[in-house]
Structure 1
C-alpha cells in the first residue's frame, strides 16, 4: 500500500565540471558564457577525426584521497566522490546526527571505468602470454562503484545502487532518489552521476558513429545547439551531486532548502538504437509525465534546461517536442548547457539539474553560447537565451535528458516555499 507521499527537497550540491571544480565556479563561468572546450590533452589525438573535448582542469585526486587509495579508483569514481563531498558539506550534513540506516546513495554513469578497461586490455595484449590484471580491475570498471564508495566513506547503510540509461543516467538517478524518499524508503539520498570518457576508445567509437563534431579549427564554438550549422556533440567529463531529502528531515535539522523536486517523468522513444524519434515522441511523453506528476500546467514552467547536444536530429526532435507541449511561448526561456560544458554523457543530467536550481535561487538563466542561426522553424517560438544570461524570476524549472536506446528522463524543480 502506498502511503501519503513525502515532499522532497534539495539541500546540497557539488560539481566537478569543465567549467570549474565547485558549484560556485561552475555557476560563475556558466553565467559568463565561457567555453570549457579545447584541444585534447589526455592523449595524442593527432590521428582522430575529433581532436578536442571538454576536459576537467586542475583536478587533483589526492585532495580527496590518500595516494594509495586513489589508485584503487577509476577517474569517474574519483570525480563522483569529489562532487559528493562538496554536496554533503554544502548540505551541512553531520551523519552522526541522523539515522544512517535511512541515508542512501543512488548514482548514475553510462560508461563506468572505461579508461581502466582500455588500459588493462592494452596491458594484457602487450604483456605476453601471462595474463596479468590489476586486482582492482573489476571494481574500477563497474558502474555501481561510486555509490558503493560514497556509502562506505560515510557509513551510509540505506538503499544503494546505480542507474544506467546512457546520457539519461544521472537524471534517472535523481528521479529514483526522489521517488524512494517520497515512499519513505529513505530520509536522505546522495544522488547524481559521473563520467570520465575522454580517451581513445570513446573518441574513436563516437567518431565511428559520426556523433561527434569535427570542427577542429574552432573547438570552443563547436558545440552549437539548435544552430543550423551544428555538426555533432562535444564530449565532456565530470560529475554532479545533489543531496535530496524529505522535507521533514530537512526541517528537523534546520537545513537550508535550495529547491523542491516536484515532478519526474520517464518515457522511451522506442524508435532507434542511437537516434531520437523524428517528432520527439519520447521527449514529448516524458515532459507531459513530469508536468502531470508536478500537478502543474505547461504555462507554469519558466525555464527549460534542454538536452540539446548539438546533433542534427536530436536538437530538432527536442524542439518539436517542446513545441508540442508548450506551443509558441516567447516568454519561455530555454538554454543549452552543453554549448559550454560539452556533453558529460551520464553525468549531464546532474550538472544541468544544478544549473536549474541555481537559476531558481539566483533568478537568472544561463546562456546558450555559439548559436547564431537557429533552426528557422523554431527561431521565433521560444527564448533560447542566446549569448548572454538573462535575469528572470523562476518558479518552475524543467531539466531534460535523453540517452542512446531511447531513454527519456525529465525532472521539474520548484522555487522553495513552505
Structure 2
C-alpha cells in the first residue's frame, strides 16, 4: 500500500477558458465548447476545441520570456503558476532544490515545426529561427516551467500519448514518496491543432465528422458517437506529502492514493478489444490504495467518443465495477486535448470529490445499448464521493489509472 499524497493546487487552461473554476463551471453546464476553426477551413473536419486566448493574449500573461516559447509551453507555464498560487506556495520563498517539475507533452510544438519547415523551403536557411529546436522539443514545457518557478529538483517530460498527463502525475507521486522532492508540480500540455495533425487524425478515422452540428459532435458513450473533437489545453496539479501539507496548514482538494500503469502491447493506435491492459492498470491503482473495486464511487472516464474506445471502456467499467458507480466524461465539453487530457481530468476528478458534484456527459441522453454503466446525463448529480478513479489511455497501448480519495 502506497502512502497517499495531497493535491493542494490546481491550474487549468482549456477550451472553456482560463482557470480551474472556469473549466469546472463549463463541464458542469454540460455544453460543448467545439466551434468552427478558421485555421482548419477547407479540411474534411474544420472544427476544434481551442483555448480562447490568442498568441498575443498568452504572451501578455506569460511576460517577457514568452517570445522564446511555443504555444504549448505558454499554456503549461500559466497553468503551473495558477496551480502554485492555488496551493498557497510562493516560488520566491521555497527551497527550489526540493521542488520537482513533471510536465508531459505528446506532439510538441507542431505548428512551430511546420512553420520553420516552410521558411526553410521557401525563404532559405537564414530565415529558420535559432530557437526552432528548443521551441519544438516536447520536454521544453517542463524546462520552462522549472525556470519560471525556480524549481531545481528533478524535471521530467513523460510522453505516453493521451495518457501523458496521468503518467506525469504518477511519476511525480513516486518522486514525493521516494523523498526526492517535497513539492511536485505535475501535469501536461498540448497545443497541436494544425492542418496536418487534424488531417492525420481524420485519415485514421478518429475524428467526428459532424461538421453541420459541431457542438453535438463529441458525445461519449452515445450510440451514434463517431469520433472525438481535437482540442488543446494544459492541466497542472501541485502534489505534496500529506504530512507536509498539514504542517503548513494546507487543506488538500483531494488525495492521490494509487496509480496503476500497464501496456496493451497489442496495436499502435487501437485499444485492446478486451481492455485487459486497462483493467490491470485499474486493479493496480486500487491495490496500491488498499481498496477493493466496490469502494469506487465515481469514474472519470477517458471517454473519447470514438466507437472502439468507449465500447472497451464501458465493458471494463461494467466488468470490474459492477456496482455501477457514477461515470462522467469531460471530453464531451472540452474535446480531446490529447496529452493534456489525463492531467485536466485528474484535476476535474479532484474538484468532483471536493464539491461533491458530478458533471454530466455532454450530448448524451442515454448510454448506448449494451453499455451497463451509470453515466450522468443532462445535469450535474450531487454525490458524496469518497473514492474516484480517473482513466487515461494512449496510442501505443499506454494505460494509466489514478485513484483519488476525499481529503479527511
Alignment TM class, shorter chain as reference = over 0.9
Moved over 4 A (4+): none
2:205 is aligned to 210
Please show how residues 316-327 of structure 1 align to structure 2 within 5 Å.
316-327=311-322
Pairing 1:84–2:80 present: yes
Task: Report the Cα offset of residue 35 of structure 1.
Answer: 1.2
Structure-2 separation of matches of 1:58 and 1:112 = 19
**1:123 deviation in Å?**
1.3
Residue range with higher mean Cα deviation, 54-63 or 85-94: 54-63
What do residues 45-94 of structure 1 show as CA deviations (whole Å, max 9, x unaligned)?
23211011111113511332335x21211000000001001001111102
Alpha-carbon distance between aligned partners in 1 of 2:4 and 2:223, rounded to the nearest angstrom: 42
How many angstroms apart in 2 are the aligned matches of 1:142 and 1:225? 32
The correspondence for 2:32, drawn from 31, 35, 40, is 35
Q: Is this contact kept in 2: 1:103–1:189, CA < 8 A?
A: yes
Cross-structure match for 2:4:
7
Contact 1:6-1:181 within 8 A present in 2 as well: no
Unpaired segments ≥5 residues, structure 2 = none
1:381-396 paired onto structure 2 within 5 Å: 381-396=372-387
- From 153, 156, 165, give the equivalent of 1:161: 156
Query: Per the alignment, in what secondary structure is the counterpart of residue 72 of structure 2?
Result: helix
Give per-residue Cα distances to partners, 1:185-233, cap 9 Å, x unaligned.
1110101111101111111111111111111011001001111211111
Aligned twin of 1:114: 110
Q: 1:18 aligns with which of 9, 15, 22?
A: 15
Selected match of 1:267 from 262, 267, 272: 262
TM-score w.r.t. length of structure 1? 0.94
Quick check: 1:189–1:245 contact (8 Å CA) kept in 2? yes
Shift of 1:374: 2.3
Conserved? CA contact 1:100–1:155, under 8 Å? yes
Equivalence for 1:370:
363
Q: What's 1:196 paired with?
A: 191
Could you tell me which of 86, 96, 100 is aligned with 2:96?
100
- Cα 1:5–1:341 change in 2 (3 A) is closer
- What's 1:351 paired with? 344
Alignment size in residue pairs: 406
CA distance 1:7–1:231, change in 2 (3 Å): closer
Determine if contact 1:6/1:184 at 8 Å carries over to the other structure: no
Q: Secondary structure at the match of 2:7?
A: strand
Equivalence for 2:297? 302
1:222 matched to 2:217? The reply is yes
C-alpha displacement at 1:131, in angstroms? 5.3
Partner of residue 179, structure 2: 184
Question: In the alignment, is the contact (CA less than 8 A) between 2:69 and 2:135 conserved in 1?
Answer: yes
Match of 2:62 among 61, 65, 70: 65
C-alpha distance in 1 between matches for 2:223 and 2:147? 48
CA distance in 1, matches of 2:41, 2:94: 52
Distance 1:207 1:119 in 2: 21
Q: What SS does structure 2 have at the residue aligned with 1:270?
A: coil
Q: Does residue 1:149 correspond to 2:144, yes or no? A: yes
Quick one: distance in 1 between partners of 2:178 and 2:3?
Answer: 7
Alignment partner of 2:153: what SS?
A: coil
Q: Greater CA deviation, 405-414 or 58-67?
A: 58-67
Give the whole-Å Cα distance in 1 for the aligned partners of 2:102 and 2:205. Answer: 32
Question: Distance between the aligned counterparts of 1:244 and 1:286, measured in 2?
Answer: 21
Is residue 336 from structure 1 mapped to residue 329 from structure 2 by the alignment? Answer: yes
Structure 2 SS opposite 1:231: coil
* Aligned-pair CA distance for 1:96: 4.2
Superposition CA RMSD, Å: 1.4
Is contact 1:5–1:183 with CA below 8 Å preserved after alignment?
no
Q: Identify the range of structure 1 (393-402 vs 200-209) with the bigger mean alpha-carbon deviation.
A: 200-209
Deviation at 1:99, TM superposition (A): 2.3
Alpha-carbon offset, residue 334 of structure 1? 0.3
Q: Contact between 1:306 and 1:336, CA under 8 Å: does it hold in 2?
A: yes
Report the TM-score, using the length of structure 2 for normalisation.
0.97
